Structure 1
């Protein structure tokens, strides 16, 4: 092998090449390997002396060799620093025939020689392939869940409607023939049919979040809040107050509508006082709007703060307070998918305040 000093200018350059952690080769204009460092010996499996009988094409799989001659000639005409491998499939070939994924940096040195630095990126490639596989599997699972939700809805809704209609008919036409116990059983049947119907609708709404996007528009929150309150029609004993200076934000209207609707309906549903007070307010932060929905209801123990945002979780028996356990899960999913966060402050007997943020810049 040619002396290193005859190829590289100076003792320091030779020393740095020998100490480098990455494999480095000096290649002549004819494609022959002139110099290799110890890291190249470890990577390719050749001794330093064996490298002198090799061409650069000997260090790559056969399928890449034919095209490489033209690339080498093109580089000789325009020698410059280049990083190869981004967006390409490059592989090195070891002495034992094994292949490894690689990125390569090439730089011109004196006398038409080229300094090539070879990086073994096999671990990174394996990780990328694993990520691609996991993403593909996740997409398939999501698609199956979406189809499953629609199939379940279709297959359950029809018989459920039939059961509900039959139960309503019995309650209307056979009322006098049923004793008090029978009437109570029928009432529970109708109640649970309606609950299951609402649960199916809730699961479908939850599954659709993030799939179907509507255009983001300017939304006057004062107007939207009034629309939601009108649609819920709170009972006379419940007063809902809305701050006069709620901002106009840019977001998907349906999502914001669902967030307010679920928070307000929960406050109304769980009210345990003769008179209910619910307040909607907003505080401006540096990069977001912080909204709050406060009530004077029963309050929530801190140990339940995380649990209530999970799907199908409720704090009260369903036969006492009708609930599907989906509403707050929908709130959390919508808020977080729009770049915000949701949390609450509450004490038992002191009411609750639910907070959520909306970024000033629509994600």
Structure 2
């Protein structure tokens, strides 16, 4: 090897203890809002991993032999954040040296975001202006986007960070390049406003929370139905005929009190009233409670009130129109925000 004047005969090599491929248990509920340590942690809109370890090793050529003369041990944190209302996502990258020794002074970290699939690069920032130092993170973030494949289509997209080290004192001034990729996420133009695109981690089951104080009777009806055994994990249907059939069976008439007819499971789900899993429908007319809670009346004259131990059938209740409308609007917004498409499962919880 020919040596440049004043330079040490050094060869850099970077190795990474790569994490296993990001695998999410089918139908997993995304409740983690932090980075997983050496494993990916997910929500419906994020994926993040921390503690990925690597080492930069610098070798000197001595009489034809490679002798280790310096090392940088480091950890990586990287993650993505998508949106149900945008074709864009952000991908962050951070590398922190944890131990440095030997011929690694004046070493710089270079990193750049790259598109991996169905992706367009938009912008990036990464600070490579200063040499690396123990305990000091070098971080950056990139914005990327995807392009529609047409109305009603669904596709996968993801991105990568490439990084390497540079030192002007090395004979070979740059190390090999390594890459760390984010898990792929699902994008679609199949819900919400026409031509709108959104992206999510579809392998994570989203959670639809219904607040008791926001729509009290609407929430109480759903809470009672779930407590009696009506499913809390539902499956979206985008088949309009199925939606209509669910509504027609659950609400063939208006409540006697003139309020709005509310059904659970929702008419927009495959578990709705028209599903053969339901032998009948039930309503609620609870006159007293052993725990002293207030009575609860639904005013539905065409269905039998549910009794203790009766966990079968769909549920119907008469509730104020504004609560039924508001609850339906919230559900629709939840579908769009979380890109809940046909056959996607989601969980319902009253909080």
Decide: shared fold, TM above 0.5: no
Which structure has the larger Rg? Answer: 1
Between structures 1 and 2, the one with greater strand share: 2
Normalising by the residue count of structure 2, what TM-score does the alignment of the two structures yield?
A: 0.25
* Higher RCO structure, 1 or 2 (CA under 8 Å, sep 6+): 2
Normalising by the residue count of structure 1, what TM-score does the alignment of the two structures yield?
A: 0.24
